[in-house]
């Protein structure tokens, strides 16, 4: 272990990647460069950047991929360097930490005990009887806690109360948590997908469209939107968007859920989020040829309605909810020969139109809104890895900064014809509290030695 | 209602402005009794503000909305000032140096003054929009603002450090009463550690919430990115202590730059950049 680490440390590349200076440099660089993507709108069309920023700045944007800063080559290089730095730093520290962890803290000598940062000694003439020694030890144990003992250390007995030695591993938890989070993100990137779908009420889908690639992704089951509902507060602000969804496997209903923002539906690892909605007008008309019976048709915006018997096609061009108190709609009508025309209908007023030689009657009977629910669909098997990384990050951070390695020694022995008692201690963080603890032991020893 | 929440919260504004003035007087004229008065006024203001916040919470239920008072800019400013005072009072109690108050309480009183006197900031209780209806709202806002408030105090300590360091020769006068550079450095470090933990928790709770609401735990939204920038700045501060020659003055500078970044995350993103967090600007 030792030999290999010294070879590594002589390698200049290894040294470069293991320096804290590089870490500080990368953190500062990441902080500064990350600003770019918050000032320049991300993910717009190239045309947008050309028009907004002019040809010169546009060239910079294109070369540096500032339209997608956080996935650009240079940002990924920075993150790669950051990861390399993190890993190499960690590996380089490992032998050092192992030595600290394995170190036998009972193998100290008299001289070193006197050089500790916290130290107090007592000189006693003559010898201490067994009872006094016991009372000193129990006073020590009461405050310092469980201890180990070694006899015959420079002619005396040495006691060590040690706590939090494992805390040296906290930094590994803290640093590896970042790598765990990166790993989770990669898993999500390669094994998951994100997509959107606009689903009209009453309709069913069995695939979605990938947001990045535009590819169709089959779900392996289907989802139906039974109802979409929007409610408002008294002041007109939206209160809730709710979609009633049903999951179907073939024709079997296998799950049902009303989803709202912040409460999605999860089925087979795929999550459906309430993201947006659209209301499209839908009108009902009655049509009839000369004096034959009437027939009802429903015409939705953006969709054609067909009257198969007469081979006529209807479309909704415009819709006005209230003209003199009644709804009105402009209807487009086309036939097989490509002849098309449009006419305005007011609810309650019948109109006539001609196609070729035939005469038809049409009237608007009803009008309402039809909702489409906008769903965000996602599969991300890496998300639990990310949460694990976050948990390790918090635990590791707390250990690194708040769990100290504390050592308190007590030596009782004879030197130059005198009995000497030494209390000394060392801690690597939270020195203020430690000082108080040491004082307490001091006072306790003072009184038990004084009472003798 | 005579003791409505808005009455108590406007009262708090004046009390904190008074407390900040008293701390300044205590520091500059070195009158011990004024220092004690400053502490009492701050603590009194804190009690009134706490009552105001609780009342506002109750009032929102009476209006039929029923949500914690953490939902818009006004409420977040009130909460920011509340946490700042809380963090400061704990520090004063632990360290027993009132001079720090002259550098910490102004942040709290400025936040309250901004919330109360800026006519663009809506101070009425509004209903929650669907995006904010989540149990994560409280966890996310509380953790973030514990971070922000700690960084405000750390910034105050950084300014004190630079003051002290600049006139390091003087052991008397207004510089003399400022704690030693070593003490300030340690306090600043501890405060940054504390704030960093809360900022990290704030980012994580935000990610969990975003994953619930939008289906993605990280979308490089400007607010998210700026919180990450802030995180990088303070991560720099924590690592810089291990680089020789970086402790002290440079960390004081980083602490100030970090707080500017916090302020930009808090306000700048809302007002200057568009994004998913736009409800924070109303």
Domain ranges of chain A: 2-101, 105-164+404-450, 189-279+373-394, 282-370
In a domain, B116, yes or no: yes
Residue B57 domain flag? yes
Distances (CA, A) of B129 to A231, A308, B194: 11, 46, 32
Residue of chain A with shortest Cα separation from B133: A262
Compute the distance between CA of residue B229 and CA of residue B217 in angstroms, rounded to an integer: 17
CB B274 within 8 A of CB B222: yes
Size of interface A-B (CB pairs under 8 A): 106
Q: How confident is the model at residue A254 (pLDDT cuts 50, 70, 90)?
A: very high
Is residue A295 within 8 A of residue A288, CB to CB? The reply is yes
In a domain, B220, yes or no: yes
Q: What is the rounded (10 degree) CA torsion for B179, B180, B185, B188?
A: 0
Interface residue B182 vs chain A (CB under 8 A): no
Question: Residue A361: beta bridge partners?
Answer: A288, A352
Query: Which residues on chain B are in Cβ contact (under 8 Å) with A386?
Result: 207, 217
**Chain A residues touching residue B220 (CB < 8 angstroms):** 37, 42, 69-70
Q: Residue B235 is nearest to which of A27, A34, A398, comparing CB atoms?
A: A27
d(CA A113, nearest CA chain B) in Å: 27
Distance CA B17, CA B38 (A): 11
Residue B282 lies inside a defined structural domain of this protein: no
Instruction: Please tell me whether residues B207 and B84 are part of one structural domain.
Output: no
From B215, B220, B274, residue closest to A37, measured CB to CB: B220
Number of domains observed in the structure of chain B: 2
What confidence score (pLDDT) does residue B145 get?
94
Mean pLDDT, residues A246-268 taken together: 92
Q: What is the distance in angstroms between the CA of the first residue and the CA of the last residue of chain A?
A: 52
How many Å apart are CA A124 and CA A420, to the nearest integer?
6
The listed range with the strongest mean pLDDT (A123-127, A197-201, A209-213) is A197-201
Q: Do B204 and A260 touch (CB under 8 A)?
A: no
Nearest Cα residue to B125 out of B79, B80, B70, B83: B70
Q: Do residue B217 and residue A383 have CB atoms under 8 angstroms apart?
A: yes
- Give percent above pLDDT 90 in chain A: 35
> Which among A185, A241, A387 has CB closest to B130?
A241
| End-to-end Cα, chain B, rounded Å | 26
Among A23, A38, A273, A377, the strongest candidate for a mutation testing the B interface, having the largest count of B CBs within 10 A, is A38
The shortest C-alpha distance from A41 to chain B (Å) reads 9
Give the integer Cα–Cα distance in Å for A390 and A362.
64
Please give the Cα distance from A243 to A261 (Å, whole number): 10
pLDDT at A4: 47
| Whether B117 and B143 share a structural domain | no
Looking at the complex, does the CB of residue B233 fall below 8 Å from at least one CB of chain A? Answer: yes
Contact B84, B115 (CB under 8 A): no
B99 and B213 within one domain: no
H or E, element range at A270: strand A270-289
Whether A390 and B126 lie within 8 Å, measured CB to CB? no
What's the confidence (pLDDT) of residue B274? 59
Which is nearest to B203 in space by CA: A386, A84, A184, A384? A386
Q: What pairing do the DSSP bridges indicate for beta strands A305-307 and A312-323?
A: antiparallel
Query: Do B139 and B222 sit in the same domain of this protein?
Result: yes
Q: Which residues contact B86 (CB under 8 A, 6 or more apart)?
A: B46, B149
Confirm if A302 and A280 have CB atoms less than 8 A apart: yes
Contacts of B145 (CB under 8 A, 6+ apart): B76, B79, B80, B83, B202
The residues facing B206 across adjacent strands are none
CA B123 – CA B71 distance, rounded (Å):
11
The two tokens of residue A256 are 């049902």
pLDDT digits (tens, 9 = 90+) for A104-155: 888 888 888 888 888 888 888 777 788 888 888 888 888 888 899 888 778 8
Per DSSP, what are the bridge partners of residue A434?
A: none
Among B98, B123, B148, residue at a domain's last position: B123
Mean pLDDT of A250-271: 91
Residue B272 sits in the same domain as residue B141 = yes
Chain B residue closest in CA terms to A32: B229
Q: Which residue of B has its CA nearest to A20?
A: B243
Q: Is B17 helix (H, G, I), strand (E, B) or coil?
A: helix
Chain A residue numbers with beta carbons less than 8 Å from the beta carbon of B131 are 261-262
User: Could you give the angle at which helices B222-240 and A20-34 cross, rounded to 10 degrees?
Assistant: 160
In this complex, do B126 and A262 lie within 8 Å of one another by their Cβ atoms?
no
Mean pLDDT highest for which of A198-202, A343-347, A394-398? A394-398
B contact residues 1-60, partner A, Cβ 8 Å cutoff: none
User: Which of B130, B197, B261 lies closest to A238 in CB terms?
Assistant: B130
Both tokens of A369, joined, read 């809104």
**Is B232 close to A34, i.e. CB distance below 8 A?**
yes
- Give the separation between CA A449 and CA A377, rounded to whole angstroms: 74
Residue B229 shares a structural domain with residue B262: yes
Alpha carbon of A450: minimum distance to chain B alpha carbons (Å): 33
Q: Sort out which chain B residues have CB atoms less than 8 A from A373's CB and list them.
A: none
- How many other C-beta atoms can be found within 10 angstroms of the C-beta atom of residue B121? 16
Same domain? For B179 and B203 the reply is: yes
Q: What is the DSSP letter of A17?
A: H
**Full-model pTM:** 0.85
Domain boundary among B95, B123, B151: B123
User: b vs e for B53-65, b when ≥16 Cβ sit within 10 Å of the residue's Cβ?
Assistant: bebbbebbeeeee
Residue A34 and residue B232 in contact, taking contact as beta carbons nearer than 8 Å = yes
3-state secondary structure of B274: coil
What one-character-per-residue DSSP string does A99-168 give? HHHH--TT---HHHHHTSSEEEEEEEES---HHHHHHHHHHHHHHH-S-EEEEEETTEEEEEEEE-GGGG
Q: Which residue, A278, A296, A108, is CA-closest to A201?
A: A278
Place of tokens 């201490």: A128
Contact B77, B112 (CB under 8 A): yes
Are B141 and B262 in the same domain? yes
Cβ-defined contact of B200 to A397 (cutoff 8 Å)? yes
Average confidence (pLDDT) over A435-440 = 89
CA of B114 vs chain A CAs: smallest distance (Å): 25
Instruction: Tell me the two tokens of residue A113.
Output: 């005990």
Separation between Cα atoms, residue A258 and residue A240, nearest integer Å: 12
Does B72 share its domain with B146?
A: no
Cβ–Cβ under 8 Å, residues B52 and B5? yes
Rg of chain B in Å (alpha carbons): 19
Integer Cα distance of A10 and A18 in angstroms: 12
Q: Which residues of B touch A378 (CB under 8 A)?
A: 215-216
| B50 within some domain | yes
On the question of pLDDT at A1 being above 80, the answer is no
Hey, of A19, A23, A29, A31, which one would you mutate to test binding to chain B, going by the most B CBs within 10 A of its CB? Answer: A31
pLDDT number for residue A288: 87
A122 backbone dihedrals φ, ψ, rounded to 5°:
-125, 140
Could you give the CA distance from residue A294 to residue A314 in angstroms, rounded to a whole number? 16
Per the CB < 8 Å rule, is B269 touching A38? yes
Nearest CA of chain A to the CA of B16: how many Å? 31
> Hey, are the CB atoms on B239 and A27 less than 8 Å from each other?
yes
Q: Please, how many CA atoms are within 13 Å of residue B260, restricted to the half-sphere of its CB?
A: 10
- Rounded (5°) CA angle A326-A331-A335: 155
Residues of B whose CB is below 8 A from A38: 222, 225-226, 269, 273
**Chain B contact probe: residue of A259, A262, A276 with most B CBs at under 10 A:** A262
What residues have CB less than 8 Å from B114, skipping those under 6 apart? B77, B121
CA distance A323 to B261: 54
Backbone angles phi, psi at A334, to 5 degrees: -130, 155
What ipTM did this prediction achieve?
0.90
**Enclosing domain of residue B81:** 1-123
- Tell me the two tokens of residue B193: 């550690």
Give me the phi and psi of A303, to 5 degrees please.
-135, 150
User: Which residues, in sequence order, are CB contacts of A147 under 8 Å at separation 6+?
Assistant: A140, A141, A159, A160, A161, A162, A410
Nearest CA in chain A to B193: A401
Please check whether residue B240 lies inside any domain of the structure. yes
Residue B89 lies in a domain: yes
Using the beta-carbon criterion (under 8 Å), do A241 and B233 form an inter-chain contact? Answer: no
Q: Domain containing B44 — which CATH number? A: 1.20.120
User: Which residue from A148, A161, A167 is spatially nearest to A424, judged by alpha carbons?
Assistant: A161
Residue B227: Cβ-neighbour burial (10 angstroms; 0-12, 13-18, 19+) = buried
Look at residues B102, B123, B144 and tell me which one is the last residue of a structural domain. Answer: B123
Q: Mark whether B90 and B200 lie in a shared domain.
A: no
Residues of chain B with confidence (pLDDT) below 70:
1-3, 274-282
Closest CA to A284 of A293, A294, A297: A297
> Do both B12 and B46 map to the same domain?
yes
- DSSP of A182-216: HHHHHHHHHH-EEEEEEEETT-EEEEEEETTT--E
| Contact across the interface for B229 and A397, Cβ inside 8 Å | no
What CA–CA distance (Å, rounded) separates A171 from A95? Answer: 14
Strands A351-355 and A270-289: unpaired
Flag if B216 and A42 touch (Cβ within 8 Å).
no
Smallest CA–CA distance, residue A19 to chain B, in Å, is 9
State which residue of chain B sits closest to A40, comparing Cα positions: B273
Find the helix or strand (DSSP H, E) in which A342 lies. Answer: strand A340-346
* Chain B nearest C-alpha distance from A23 (Å): 8
For an interface test with A, the pick among B71, B191, B217 (most A C-beta atoms closer than 10 Å) comes out as B217
Q: Report whether pLDDT(A266) > 80.
A: yes
- Residue in chain B nearest A391 by alpha carbon: B204
Residue A9 has pLDDT above 80, yes or no: no
Quote the CA–CA distance of B94 and A433 in Å, as a whole number: 12
Angle, CA B205 vertex, CA B71 and CA A33 arms, to 5°: 95
How far apart are the CA of B29 and the nearest CA of chain A, in angstroms?
30
For the cut 50, the answer to whether the pLDDT of residue A293 exceeds it is yes
Q: Are residues B15 and B90 in the same domain?
A: yes
CATH class for the domain made up of A105-164+404-450: alpha beta
**Looking at the partner chain, which of B133, B228, B236 has a beta carbon nearest the beta carbon of A24?**
B236
Say if residues A395 and A422 touch (Cβ distance below 8 Å).
Answer: no
């Amino acid at each position: 272990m030792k030999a290999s680490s010294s070879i590594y440390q002589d390698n200049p590349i290894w040294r470069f990647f293991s320096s804290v200076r590089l870490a500080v440099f990368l953190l500062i660089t990441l902080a500064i460069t990350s600003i770019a993507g918050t000032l320049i709108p991300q993910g717009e069309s190239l045309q947008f950047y050309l028009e907004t920023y002019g040809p010169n700045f546009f060239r910079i944007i294109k070369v540096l991929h500032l339209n997608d800063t956080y996935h650009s080559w240079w940002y990924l290089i920075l993150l790669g360097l950051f990861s390399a730095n993190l890993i190499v730093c960690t590996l380089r520290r490992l032998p050092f930490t192992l030595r600290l962890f394995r170190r036998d803290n009972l193998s100290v000598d008299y001289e070193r005990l006197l050089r500790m940062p916290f130290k107090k000694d007592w000189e006693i003439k003559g010898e201490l009887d067994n009872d006094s020694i016991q009372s000193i030890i129990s006073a020590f144990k009461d405050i310092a806690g469980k201890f180990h003992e070694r006899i015959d250390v420079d002619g005396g007995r040495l006691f060590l109360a040690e706590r939090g030695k494992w805390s040296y591993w906290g930094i590994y938890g803290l640093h590896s948590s970042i790598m765990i989070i990166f790993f989770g993100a990669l898993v999500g990137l390669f094994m998951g997908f994100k997509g959107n779908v606009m689903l009209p009420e009453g309709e069913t889908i069995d695939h979605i469209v990938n947001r990045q690639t535009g590819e169709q992704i089959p779900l392996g089951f289907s989802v139906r939107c039974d109802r979409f509902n929007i409610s408002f507060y008294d002041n007109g602000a939206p209160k809730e968007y709710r979609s009633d969804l049903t999951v179907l496997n073939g024709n079997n209903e296998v799950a049902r859920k009303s989803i709202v923002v912040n409460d999605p539906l999860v089925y087979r690892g795929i999550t459906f989020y309430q993201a947006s909605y659209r209301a499209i007008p839908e009108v009902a008309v009655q049509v009839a040829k000369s004096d034959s019976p009437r027939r009802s048709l429903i015409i939705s915006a953006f969709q054609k309605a067909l009257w198969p018997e007469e081979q006529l096609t209807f479309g909704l061009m415009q819709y006005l909810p209230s003209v003199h108190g009644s709804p009105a709609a402009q209807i487009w009508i086309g036939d097989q020969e490509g002849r098309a025309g449009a006419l305005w209908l007011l609810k309650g007023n019948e109109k006539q139109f001609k196609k070729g030689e035939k005469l038809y009657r049409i009237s608007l009977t009803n009008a309402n809104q039809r909702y489409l629910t906008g769903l965000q669909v996602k599969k991300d098997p890496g998300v639990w890895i990310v949460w694990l990384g976050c948990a390790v990050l918090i635990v590791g951070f707390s250990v690194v900064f708040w769990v100290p390695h504390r050592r308190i020694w007590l030596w009782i022995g004879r030197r130059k014809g005198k009995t000497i008692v030494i209390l000394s201690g060392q801690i690597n963080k939270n020195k203020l509290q430690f000082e108080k603890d040491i004082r307490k032991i001091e006072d306790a020893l003072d009184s038990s030695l004084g009472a003798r | 209602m005579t003791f409505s929440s808005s009455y108590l919260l406007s009262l708090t504004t004046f009390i904190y402005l008074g407390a900040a003035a008293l701390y300044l007087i205590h520091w500059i004229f070195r009158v011990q009794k004024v220092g004690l008065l400053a502490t009492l006024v701050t603590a009194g203001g804190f009690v009134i503000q706490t009552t105001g916040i609780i009342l506002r919470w109750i009032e929102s239920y009476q209006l039929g909305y029923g949500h914690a008072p953490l939902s818009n800019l006004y409420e977040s400013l009130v909460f920011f000032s509340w946490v700042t005072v809380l963090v400061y009072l704990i520090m004063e109690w632990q360290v027993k140096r009132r001079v720090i108050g002259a550098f910490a309480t102004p942040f709290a009183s400025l936040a309250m003054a901004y919330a109360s006197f800026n006519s663009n900031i809506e101070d009425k209780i509004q209903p929650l929009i669907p995006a904010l209806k989540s149990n994560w709202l409280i966890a996310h806002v509380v953790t973030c603002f514990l971070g922000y408030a700690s960084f405000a105090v750390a910034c105050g300590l950084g300014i004190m450090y630079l003051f002290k360091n600049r006139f390091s020769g003087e052991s008397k006068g207004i510089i003399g009463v400022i704690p030693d550079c070593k003490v300030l450095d340690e306090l600043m470090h501890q405060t940054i550690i504390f704030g960093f933990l809360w900022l990290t928790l704030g980012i994580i709770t935000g990610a969990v919430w975003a994953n619930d609401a939008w289906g993605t735990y990280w979308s490089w939204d400007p607010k998210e990115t700026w919180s990450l920038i802030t995180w990088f700045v303070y991560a720099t501060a924590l690592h810089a202590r291990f680089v020789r020659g970086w402790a002290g003055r440079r960390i004081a500078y980083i602490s100030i730059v970090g707080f500017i970044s916090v302020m930009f995350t808090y306000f700048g993103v809302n007002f200057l950049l568009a994004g998913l967090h736009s409800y924070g600007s109303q």
